[in-house]
Amino acid sequence: MRVLITGGAGFLGSHLTDAFLARGDEVTILDVASDLKVRHQLQNAQFRYVRDSVFSREILEGLISWCDVVYHLAAVVGVEHYVGDPYQVLNVNVNGTQTVLNVAFKARKKVIFSSTSEVYGRSLSIPFKEDGDRVLGSTQIDRWCYSTSKAVGEHFCFAFYKLGLPVVVLRYFNVYGPRLDHMDVGRVITIFLGQLMRGVPLTVIGDGRQTRCFTYVEDAIRATVAAGLKEEAVGRIVNVGSDEEVSIKDLAAMMIRISGSRSSVTFVPQQSVYGDSYEDISRRVPDIQRMREILGVTPQVPLEEGLKRTIEWFRRQGVEGNR
């Protein structure tokens, strides 16, 4: 099979690349990012890395006509971007997705769209079911621009689905593992990792009672590959997550214990980290029935095991090694 992965040089994309290459498929990635996360595949004859943007229409058209399936992962992700550069988030996530879908529609190629658990916002209907409501805050709170941009992307997917394009929408729940962001920046696990390595206190935002269900990348990738192969997934939204719920306070304690670090925990007010443009989500838990039934995937790596593997990987890279 020929697989095109936009955003293939990112965290999820690079693991997806590895998974398809391991199956014997051909993979082309389209990404503006450096080849850091896919460098180990550059000599692989089945792999091609096109350093360009989804807005380069001709290149995109050429690549989509080449492939059998499009994984659209190219997006601006990360809380620091939601509050730092909402324009970029909206432009890439909405207009970039529309462009990819348009070209795929003309070429009649299936699209797997990577969406997010952020789409549910701060809904209180736990666990989050794919057809449940979305609950978001004001448009003056920049945090919600990411959720909104991905929801628009989903709407575009279903608009094209109505016109005959095969699409699958995947909503990822806090996926983590080797190659996630850089130490000290990005998502909570890499921020805590950087703090652990430097032996400084872990910054738990708020009271730390907010929860997440962290999903080990290997489990997320098995579901992602299946989404492109299973006919039953077409036209559906599927949560990709784990149902192991943990509070951020307990996550910090677990990471300190596993790493054997002497770091402590410090509680910091939300506003001091992200300013007024941020609101936290108090509980986020997926319903993973569809992932089990439609994709045939059940999460297999418990949080403790996944964290051990992740910490081990980042230790091997060293503090500078993953920049």
The catalytic residue positions are: 146
Beta strands 26-31 and 2-6 are parallel
With 0-12 CB in 10 A as exposed, 13-18 as middle and 19+ as buried, what is 24?
A: exposed
Using the minimum distance from each CB to ligand UDP, give the nearer residue, 1 or 135: 135
> x/- contact string, 258-297, with ligand UDP (CB under 6 A)?
----------------------xx----------------
CA–CA dist 240, 175 (Å, integer) = 9
Interaction of residue 111 with ligand UDP, rule CB under 6 A: no
Using the minimum distance from each CB to ligand UDP, give the nearer residue, 111 or 217: 217
Supply the minimum distance, in Å, between the C-beta of residue 59 and ligand UDP.
31
Using the minimum distance from each CB to ligand UDP, give the nearer residue, 153 or 228: 153
Query: Would you say 217 and 240 are in contact if contact means Cβ atoms under 8 Å apart?
Result: no
> x/- contact string, 162-201, with ligand UDP (CB under 6 A)?
------------x------------xx--x----------
Using the minimum distance from each CB to ligand UDP, give the nearer residue, 72 or 187: 187
With 0-12 CB in 10 A as exposed, 13-18 as middle and 19+ as buried, what is 320?
A: exposed
Supply the minimum distance, in Å, between the C-beta of residue 47 and ligand UDP.
30
C-alpha to C-alpha distances, 110 to 14, 99, 153, nearest whole angstrom: 20, 14, 15
C-alpha to C-alpha distances, 128 to 120, 182, 266, 278, nearest whole angstrom: 7, 29, 30, 21
Query: Would you say 241 and 172 are in contact if contact means Cβ atoms under 8 Å apart?
Result: yes
Count, residues near ligand UDP per rule CB under 6 A? 13
Interaction of residue 143 with ligand UDP, rule CB under 6 A: no
Tokens 């099979």 found at: 1
Which positions touch ligand UDP (CB under 6 A)?
79, 174, 187-188, 191, 203-205, 210, 212, 248, 280-281
